[in-house]
Amino acid sequence: MKKLNILVIGGTGFLGSCLVSRLLKEGHAVKVFSRGNSKSLQTHVNVEYIEGDIIKSDKLNSLFNKIDYVYYFASTTNPKSSENDLIFDLSSNLIPFISILNKCVENNIKKFIFCSSGGTVYGNNNKMPLSENSLCKPISSYGLVKLNMEFYIKYFNRKYNLSYDILRLSNPYGVNNLSKSLSGIIPTYINNIVSDNEIKVYGNGDIVRDYVYVEDFIDLNLKLLTTQEKNNIMNVGSGKGTSISELIKKIESVVGRKARIEYLPKREFDVDKNVLKITKVRDIYGWEPKISLSEGIKRTFHWMKGLK
């Protein structure tokens, strides 16, 4: 593959740091922009790490110098925290995002790749699995902001011909060899069960999610660099739904001990059921996940044991 100059915004988080590792293995030149924690994750001496806040930063012009592709994996909120301060969610995510899109246009970026949220932009829908044509009706500020980010990408494509791919990602999990931090429900549940701490379940355990192993997701991101395909919105998941109760049983089987569960009232921002149809990404990029949920849990568990 031809060596590319790539900027990863949010490149010190769970997904971003995994992507950076793979991009380097492929021989690409990588620059990372992050709001924080970059110093603790600067494990690659040949990566340029730049720390700052997008909306306040005076570094944006230099960030995009001689960059071919931009990955946007940044977020200041999650579905829970977004509900606590709607103004912060909007001002710290959507407004800086528009500044980034402007810089992409000014610097003739070849493609802008955005990690959206397949778990929240659709909201509650009766028909599963969800396709990219399913009605989007987010029930959290997080999902609403992500959807508006998608709208702005398409606006910049129409007005300025900015090429893009939008990845509506389900629930990613797995091994992150750059960090000891645990991201997501699966590592959290594993850790609590191993430590004999109660795990919190909101509702009665019947909430359904679609889980995808992180390396499968990163595989797709590498494919986006090797084709002329562009301007697609695509679901990225396993195409299979797993309830919280089923997930706990799978983790118990791998860990070898029973979970102690604290059942709490269902949260209003939690979507009842989310399973993504992945036909489109399979047809366009020839991608589908390789790692089953059971195998992914095993890999995550063994990685976490090595962190002790």
Mean pLDDT value of segment 21-45: 79
37 shares its domain with 108: yes
159 shares its domain with 200: no
Which of 71, 142, 164, 211 is the catalytic position?
142
The alpha carbon of 89 is separated from its chain's Cα centroid by a whole number of angstroms, namely: 17
pLDDT of residue 308: 60
Burial class (CB in 10 A: 0-12, 13-18, 19+), 127: exposed
CATH number of the domain to which 257 belongs: 3.90.25.10
178 located within any domain: no
pLDDT tens sequence across 83-131: 999 999 999 999 999 999 999 999 999 999 999 999 999 999 989 999 9
106 shares its domain with 14: yes
pLDDT reading at 34 higher than 60: yes
Based on the structure, what is the number of domains in the chain?
2
pLDDT reading at 177 higher than 90: no
Torsion sign (Cα): 188, 194, 199, 201:
positive
Hunting for tokens 């992050």 — which residue is that? 34
246 shares its domain with 132: no
pTM, full prediction: 0.95
122 located within any domain: yes
- Show the domain range for 250: 185-208+240-274+293-305
pLDDT reading at 231 higher than 90: yes
Rounded Cα distance, 72 and 153, in Å: 12
pLDDT reading at 38 higher than 70: no
Q: Is 213 a catalytic residue?
A: no
